Amino acid sequence: MPQIVVENLSKSYRVSERAPGVWGATKGMFRRAARTVEALKAISFSLERGELLGFIGPNGAGKSTTLKILSGILEPDSGRCEVDGLTPSRDRIRHVARIGVVFGQRTQLWWDLPVVDGFDLLRDIYSVPETQYRRTKDAMVELMRLEPLLDQPVRQLSLGQRMRCEIAAAMLHRPSILFLDEPTIGLDAPSKLAVRAFVKSLNRDHGVTVILTTHDMHDIEALAERVIVIGNGIILADQSFESLRKEVLTERRLFVDFVGAAPALDFPGVAELHRDGNSLELSFDPSVVGAANLISWISAEYDLVDIHIQQPRIEEVIARFYNLHGAIEA
């Protein structure tokens, strides 16, 4: 029995619009135009207890909307959404007591309060028994190395420090599910690593089910076994990260510097991407064209200064994947 079931979930927003300029504003006083934007178009997926799912997609794809419906903040227009047997928007209070949520772009801690006071308030809000609370808090403080931060007011923390506190705060009532909406946004490299390690440990050692949205493919690479790619409100891919990577990362790049001007190459299965004086950037699929064959042919035919093969960056590939599916935000 999956822990999370989503079936044909749809959600649309009404966005008001007006024509630009004085005329548009005047017209807008009498007639309001509104456009319906379909944020989710009948998406379906399910998740087993203890899974770690990465949600990726361009801005405006519907990632956050999905998380907000799953966490009970938004009500879907149609479709079924069940988490641990509860319908989030209908059984909101019982549901939210069992989940933890972190929005990377917002803060749930109180700006004016020291971190530890915020934690204590959350203890009271979630009615966590004192002994359980102390044990969870100590574990989180140790795991995220929060000890020196506890007495500081939240507004004085750096973004990285705050995000560590935010995730710890979301875990104080021991939720079995954690929703993370862009938890690494704006963080520096060490903070990102810390957040990833923390999430991984929660998932692996504590069995917490995690859904994570991100634009950082390294988050996905480091954490998610399974990835859902969403674009324009539909699911474009739902598979293991490895198979997605194999699928989209088949291409290789060959960079060649010639002694003279770069020639026009004619080799079946090889495409020219970029040409700059003596240099060429070529693209090929190693399952069609053997890399060794290609290199030995080129070096036999021409005088070379340098030659090397690269994998395209995963960001670039994902962008192409979005493009291919027409998923880029209008």
Partner 1 sequence: MIARVAPYLSVFRMRFLIMLQYRTAALAGFFTQCWWGIILVMVLAAFFHGARSHEPISFAQAVTYTWLGQAFLVLLPWTGDPDVGEMVRSGNVSYDRLRPLDTYFYWYVRAMAWMAARAVPRAALMFVTAGLIFPLIGLGAWRMRFPSSVAAGLLFTPALLSVVLLSSAMVMLINLTVVATVSDRGANTLATPIVIVLSGNLLPLPLFPDWMHRFLFLQPFAGLVDIPSRIYVGNLTGAVALAGLLQQVVWIGLLILLGHHLMLRAMRRLQVQGG
If the CB atoms of residues 97 and 288 are measured against partner 1, the closer one turns out to be: 97
The least distance separating partner 1 from the CB of residue 100, rounded to whole angstroms, comes to: 9
Single out the residue of 97, 273, 288, 291 in contact with partner 1 (rule: CB under 8 A). 97
Determine the Cα–Cα distance for residues 299 and 306; give it in Å rounded to an integer.
Answer: 10
Among 58, 83, 107, 282, binds partner 1 (CB under 8 A): 107
Q: What count of other Cβ atoms lies within 10 Å of the Cβ of residue 245?
A: 18
Cβ distance 241 to 226 under 8 Å?
Answer: yes
CA dist., res. 194 & res. 184, Å (int): 10
Nearest CA to 263 out of 301, 211, 215, 295 is that of 301
Residues in contact with partner 1, counted by CB under 8 A, come to a total of: 31
Sheet containing strand 78-83, edge to edge, reads: 33-47, 4-17, 78-83
Per CB under 8 A, does 154 bind partner 1? no
- Cβ contacts of 236 within 8 Å, gap of 6 or more: 57, 229, 230, 321, 325, 327
Taking contact as CB under 8 A, which single stretch among the options 98-106, 238-246, 255-263, 287-295 is the one that binds partner 1? 98-106
Stretch that binds partner 1, among 19-27, 108-116, 195-203, 237-245 (CB under 8 A): 108-116
Query: Residue 14 CA to chain centroid, in angstroms?
Result: 25
Q: At closest approach, how far in Å is the CB of 290 from partner 1? A: 47
The smaller minimum CB distance to partner 1, of residues 26 and 105, is found at 105
Binding mask 63-82 for partner 1 (x = CB under 8 A): -x---x--xxxxx-------
Near partner 1 by CB under 8 A: residue from 33, 34, 125, 189: 125
53 forms beta bridges with 211, 226
Q: Least distance to partner 1 from the beta carbon of 95, Å?
A: 8
Measured from the CB of residue 126, what is the shortest distance to partner 1 in angstroms?
6
Interaction between residue 215 and partner 1 (CB under 8 A): no
Would you say 49 and 206 are in contact if contact means Cβ atoms under 8 Å apart?
Answer: no
Q: Is 18 in the site for partner 1 (CB under 8 A)?
A: no
φ, ψ of residue 172 in degrees (nearest 5): -65, -30
Q: Is 124 in the site for partner 1 (CB under 8 A)?
A: yes
Contact residues: partner 1, CB under 8 A: 13, 64, 68, 71-75, 92-94, 96-97, 99, 101, 103, 105-108, 110, 112-113, 117, 121, 124-127, 181-182
